[in-house]
Amino acid sequence: MKHHAFLACHPAVNLLYFVLVLTFSMFFLHPLCLAVSLCAALWCAAQLNGGRAVRRTALWLAPTALLAALVNLAFNHQGATILAYLPSGNPLTLESIAYGFAAAAMLAAVVLWFSCWNTVMTSDKLMHLFGRVVPALSLLLSMTLRFVPRFQAKLREVTAARRGMGLYAEKGRLQKLKSAVTVFSVMVTWSLENAVETADSMKSRGYGLPGRTGYSASKYAMTGFLETLRIENLKKGLHVMIACPGFTASNVRFSALTADGTQQGATPRDEAKMMTPEEVARIVARGIQKRKRLCLMENEGRATHFVKKFAPGFLDRMFYLVMSREPDSPLK
């Protein structure tokens, strides 16, 4: 079972495989079943992630599993075969020991299977499987799965840079703690700055709307004009804010034209779920008071700005999927 074998399978087959092995690992506590699951998980993880990655995982997984087994002895006293009595007076039974090690093996197997899951079930595969059913959940999962590897890569980069500068030569627990706090501060700052840069990378809901080419062109033109106006008046203290409302319940549809030049008349979207003009006005007013550069008004807009930098191809497919569901959509 090599990596290319998973890649050759349909995402639904991969999903079914991991659901089955995880179910087998968590609900079949027979020692033979756990041994088979643990050995298979070790082998699969070694094939997918490499032996070195498995050894690194084992360095913390083995003590954790052992701790779980020992903790079980302190709380589980059931069993007929009493071996000894604890200082608390509770019996230490053979069955509780066996159950503790079984739980530890289950924990180790599940963790290893999830490490294989992270390698095989990429965000694109989750999008393919669940994009049409639960697009919001698919977007959230994709954002999470893409952010974690980027965070890890940045952490390795910061750590390597500090080692190259000789900043890991400190000895003593206090110095190491200070170094860890510094790295943590750097990572938090990077995360926040990256989110801001991502948000600013897309303007006016940040994305062209399929089926609304002229509308999108006017939005981008207005965004470019406002950005230029801000820069030209930078020394004059002029505040320029780009307000990005989402779909708003208004009468714009009576003036909007279709592809053949006729008035649209009816909106293809549910206006009951849209923002009202009054809500938009209140948010814009607060943004002006806070002197914001960019005022995003919907969670969808914020998510779009964030995902654009990490997964532009994924976002293309999401927008196509959503807009193709509209009545009389030209994308059908």
pLDDT for res 201: 47
Q: Which residue has the tokens 């020394």?
A: 235
Instruction: Answer for the pair 77, 93: CB distance below 8 angstroms, yes or no.
Output: yes
Query: Within 10 A of 90 (CB to CB), how many other CB atoms are there?
Result: 14
Q: Give the length of the chain.
A: 332
- In DSSP notation, 232-254 reads HTGGGT----EEE--SB-SSGGG
Mean pLDDT of 8-19: 88
Instruction: Using the Cα atoms of residue 315, residue 321, residue 324 and residue 327 in order, give the sign of their dihedral.
Output: negative
CB atoms within 10 A of CB 165: 9
Assign 9 a pLDDT band (cuts: 50, 70, 90): confident
**pLDDT one-digit tens code per residue, 186-232:** 887 777 666 655 555 444 444 445 555 666 667 777 877 888 888 78
The whole-number pLDDT of residue 1 equals 45
Are the C-beta atoms of residues 97 and 113 closer than 8 Å to each other? no
For 318-329, what is each residue's pLDDT tens digit? Answer: 666 666 666 666
Does pLDDT of 42 surpass 70?
A: yes
**If you average pLDDT over residues 135-164, what whole number do you get?**
73
Residues 228-240, mean pLDDT to the nearest whole number: 84
Residues 6+ away with beta carbon under 8 Å from 38: 105, 108, 109, 112
Question: Is 121 a residue whose pLDDT tops 50?
Answer: yes
What's residue 279's pLDDT?
Answer: 85
Q: Are 193 and 217 in contact (CB under 8 A)?
A: no
Contact (Cβ atoms closer than 8 angstroms) between residue 243 and residue 295: yes
More confident: 155 or 42: 42
Cα–Cα distance for residue pair 136/210, rounded to 1 Å: 18
Question: Mean pLDDT across the chain, nearest whole number?
Answer: 76
* Interatomic CA distance for residues 311 and 295, integer angstroms: 22
Q: What percent of the chain has pLDDT over 90?
A: 8
Asked if residue 123 lies in contact with residue 145, where contact means CB atoms within 8 angstroms, the answer is yes
pLDDT (0 to 100) of residue 277 = 83
Encoding tokens for residue 244?
Answer: 């990005």
Distance between CA atoms of 3 and 47, rounded to whole angstroms? 7
CA dist., res. 329 & res. 217, Å (int): 19
Quick count: other Cβ atoms within 10 Å of Cβ 217?
A: 11
Q: Which two tokens stand for residue 46?
A: 């070694």
Q: List the alpha helices (DSSP H) in the chain.
A: 3-7, 11-27, 31-49, 51-75, 94-120, 123-130, 135-164, 173-201, 213-232, 277-289, 299-310, 312-324
The structural domains of the chain, with segments of one domain joined by +, span: 3-121, 128-200, 209-300
Q: Which residue has the higher pLDDT, 172 or 241?
A: 241
Residue 2: pLDDT over 50 = no
The answer on pLDDT for 20 being more than 90 is yes
Instruction: Give the H/E segment covering residue 82.
Output: strand 82-85
Q: What does the block give as tokens for 248?
A: 């708003």
Look at residue 216 in the predicted model and tell me its pLDDT. 67
**pLDDT tens-digit profile of 257-270?**
555 556 665 655 55
pLDDT > 70: percent of the chain = 65
pLDDT tens per residue across span 65-93: 888 888 887 787 787 888 888 787 788 88
Tokens found for residue 57: 């995982």
Cα–Cα distance between 250 and 277 in angstroms, integer? 7
Whether the CB-CB separation of 311 and 260 falls below 8 Å is answered with no
pLDDT tens-digit profile of 96-117?
A: 888 888 889 999 999 999 888 8
Residue 19: the pLDDT is 92
> What per-residue confidence (pLDDT) applies to 197?
53
Confirm if 285 and 297 have CB atoms less than 8 A apart: no
Give the angle 120-121-124 at the CA atoms, nearest 5°. 120
Nearest CA among 319, 304, 77, 88 for reference residue 202:
304
Confidence label for 330 from pLDDT (cuts 50, 70 and 90): low
